[in-house]
A and B are shown apart, each in its own frame.
Chain A
Amino acid sequence: MAEIRYLAPRTLDEAVGAFAAAQGAARILAGGTDLLVQMRNGLAKPGLIVDIKKIAEMTEIAELPDGGFRIGAAVSGAMLAEHPRFGQVWPGVLEAVNLIGSKQVQGRASPGGNLCNASPAGDSVPAMIAAGAVVTVQGPEGRRQMPVEAVPAGPGRTNLRPGEIVVGFTLPPRPAGSGDAYLRMIPRTEMDIAVVGLGVSLTLAGGTVTHARVGLGAVAPTVLLVEEAGNALLGSRLEEAALDAAAAACRAACRPINDKRGTIAYRTKVAGVLLKRAVAIAAQRAQGGN
């Protein structure tokens, strides 16, 4: 067995330095719920593991002065669930994060890891896309920001540059009348991988949609931002025609494969159904219901 080095730096600079120096032979360890399984199955053979959980910024949930949130990349689902306000402002994002795995997994797994694992079926990603979250990335050339939907490049691949680490997510401030929701279709009742996952974030003013974003997962090589679906809802009062148009946009965005988890026909049909249902939940939340 090859030697594996383990580092748990206290600062981001140290982490980036070690990660970049390893030139691709290193892997970032947050909760480890993907990485350790991949290593055990021989799918990942890192020479260096950089544990980011000792870096304060990576494990913090901060409420920003403007009402937004900054979530460290290694924050676990359980930590998010325990935060007194996050779930009130972003119930859809929280649901999505905590649909991942079992209670035990939720105590370890992080949205940062879920994003960087780059599975087309990652549950937190469509909700983060719908939320309009922005990712902060740090690498040898410094910090930059990119929208969540720009991170995945394909199954298991990201658009991060060599040596770059995801530091955290910034979620924008929420105007009054906003709500979000995430729904997924799985063949069993729990602990499963999405056949379709769909996140919606809405803002309503006097019953009219003033802001709408839709993220769609498990139906294409990457999780998608479906702008056409959001546009179909924008300016509407969520009439049937607008919902039909948004559902049609979701179906049209699907580029799935036939595989053991579901057929093209099924995934496509369910994408439209989930759009309508997620919109209904988000709208109810936006209007003060829960």
Chain B
Amino acid sequence: MKLSEIIKNLDAKVVNASDLDKEIVGGYCGDFLSVVMGKAPENGGWFTIMNNQNVAAVASLTEVGVIIICDGVEPDPYLDKKVRDIGLDLIITPYPVFEAVKKSGL
């Protein structure tokens, strides 16, 4: 599914999106970074409520397609800067994780 469709489905605010036509395949929900690292699929959507800079490190190392912060949580300033600096895609949806997964269409 295209990132642009996910953004639309989730009424999401875009913090950084390098390529709106990028294909996102599958996903994973979680907040414990070690668990996410072991299980999130490459090029998938990562649904989380974590908003600190370590999210960027984990997303980059595991090459997730897009970070989807749920519940309207804003990234902290370090994360906000880091995703822009290293070109990671991050969007914010107002929906809680469960709702967000259902609405995403992934």
Asked whether A and B interact, the reply is no
On A, residues with C-beta under 8 Å from B are none
On B, residues with C-beta under 8 Å from A are none
